[in-house]
Chain A
Amino acid sequence: MVDQAIIACHWCGSQSPAGTLNCRSCGAPLDARNVVSDSGWAAAPRIRDMVKIEFGQSTCQVEGQMVPVADIQLAAGDAVIFEHHVMLWKDDSVPVANIALSGGIQRILGGMPFCITQATGPGHIAFSRDASGELVVLPLHPGMEIDVREHAFVLASHHIEYSFVRIKGLANIFFGGEGMFMDRFVTRGQPGLLILHGYGNVFQRTLKPGESILLEPGGFLYKDSSVKMDVEFQKIGGSFLGGKMMAMARVTGPGRVGMQSMYHHPHHEKK
């Protein structure tokens, strides 16, 4: 009867003892059914208010539902990395340090140098983004590689290796010449926890090898690095005014792709 005493989480696959209401690794409700659309998109689990997620010796409590907060209780020796602008509050005693990023590419965020900060326990530190949406909790097993839309990442545990890639071909098309970066998270020997924030609602779909869909670039949130992404154009409007080119991202499997329903175009904010 041992196998009956275990529940597998439909979101992250990790196992919890029977009777547990929320997955310990990702916070997904275990007593709710997996919500999948006819077209194959699984809605990211709605994490209940105040649910705790365990990683390493530390915990993350998810608070609020419109603009959820990730409130981390760091154990001594554990650390998280994050972009400096998502920090909401912290204990005075928690040390923070900037991480030197490899690669000489200058990445600018809102006129300021882009930087990744590391906070080390013990103590509390909390993060949130600036718009209504969902926290997407992705526990990473060793040997995983995930690409994430820039600035969508809220925090990663310190065992996760962080780097970013510049997507040259997509630069002018997607983001008005600013260039597009994707954050890349890799786990080597140890598992880690990655938390993203998606605007609006978040959905995930697993593409079979060779299967592809066309996705609004602003709706792209994350993908396994095995998923290929290219740009495709379609002319919309054929009047004497010349019409307009619409760019869509063609994503091709195999692997997972994550989408946010409130698509986000950074250049709109700069107007």
Chain B
Amino acid sequence: MPDTPPAHVTGPTVRCRWCGYSAAGTGETSCPRCGATLAISVRSDTAGWSELPPVANMTRIKLGDSTCQIEGQTVPVADFNLRGNDGIFFSHHYLLWRDVTVSLNTMSIAGGIKRLLGGLPLFMTRATGPGHLALSRDVPGEIIAIPLDPGQEVDVREHMFLAATGPIDYQLRDSNIWFQQRSGQNNDDIETFYPIGWYVDRFFSDKQPGLLLLHCSGNCFTRMLGPDETLLVKPTAFVFKDKAVHMQLHFEYPHSNQTYTGLNPRLIGYRPKFTWVALRGPGRVAIQSAYEPMEGEYSRVDWSSACTNRTW
């Protein structure tokens, strides 16, 4: 976590700058809980963003008796060695390879129909050991390891989730970030846009600590927002936030004396705008440097979820 004090080697104990774990004198070069390289200083910019600490090739993360090894650096692979009945859950299309001994089962998810409508996988797959199983996504980027202690909750933008260990629980929540463009004679043709998707995945752990793995495109940067500190973030660059961080839509209209009237009927009456998610602290937020195109980038806002506006 970026708010943790800078790592310092006090006697035999090394503190991980990313997750705060104190590794007692084992001589480890990477954090056993999140895989971050220990003996480096976290790179931060003057604005307050910290680069995700690098995970060295072939780093092992401990998950109880099992381990997860992070392999490769362009499109990293999470290679789980599941012992006994240890299990993880993941979305089945991220499966890269597995041992014959690993069993796969379907995990039911509350809100199946909503997920289906939202274009998300309808089910999660649970893999149980013993054996190896490896996951990867299909874009260059980084794997973000987020250890979750009991009581910690994070909200993750859809499609960022790679895998979570057994103790972690999962809930599908409305993103409540949307806007509509109305057209037609009676204003009854409604197009609705969801800049960060219909749903947000909330991950938490009730009793035991667990590990959540996300995959971002490009590089990941995190930052700690103070109470009421607000930041505007490109919706499709948003990765995750602590539950305490408040999120809502924000539209910004640059100074202009004319509206755009191109030949495209959708654009008639359109004013150039910036669509943002406004994130208000306290808590941690993360963004990725490579983002997908955003829904409704060039659409008019006639109606929307709670939002703020600014016209220059």
Q: Mark A residues whose CB is within 8 Å of B.
A: 35-39, 41, 43, 66, 132-134, 199-201, 203, 212-216, 218-219, 234, 236-239, 241, 243-244, 246, 248, 259, 261-264
Contacts and interface: CB of A to CB of B under 8 A. Distances in A.
Nearest to A237: B123
Interface stretch (B36-44, B131-139, B251-259): B131-139
Given A66-B74, A214-B100, 5 more contacts: A214-B99, A237-B122, A239-B112, A259-B96, A261-B71
A236 B125 contact: yes
A38 B60 contact: yes
Nearest to A238: B106
Contacts, number: 111
B81 A262 contact: no
Contact of A262 (B122, B123, B140): B140
A201 B97 CA distance: 14
A73 B72 CA distance: 30
A219 B96 contact: yes
Interface string B259-272: 00000000000000
Most buried by A among B77, B81, B122, B136: B77
A234 to B, nearest CB: 6
**By CB atoms of chain A within 10 A, which of B58, B75, B139 has the most?**
B75
B136 A35 contact: no
B89 to A, nearest CB: 12
Contacts of B97: 213-216, 219, 259
B100 A38 contact: no
12 contacts: A35-B58, A201-B73, A212-B100, A213-B99, A234-B104, A236-B123, A239-B108, A239-B112, A246-B92, A248-B95, A262-B137, A262-B139
B72 A261 contact: yes
B273 interface: no
Contacts of A264: 138
Nearest to A243: B106
A132 B74 contact: yes
A118 to B, nearest CB: 31
B56 to A, nearest CB: 10
Contacts of A37: 58, 69, 71, 79
A219 B137 CA distance: 11
A70 to B, nearest CB: 17
Contacts of B92: 236, 244, 246
Most chain A CB atoms below 10 A, which of B99, B122, B137, B140 = B140
A10 to B, nearest CB: 15
A218 B75 CA distance: 14
Nearest to A234: B104
Contact of B136 (A36, A200, A246): A200
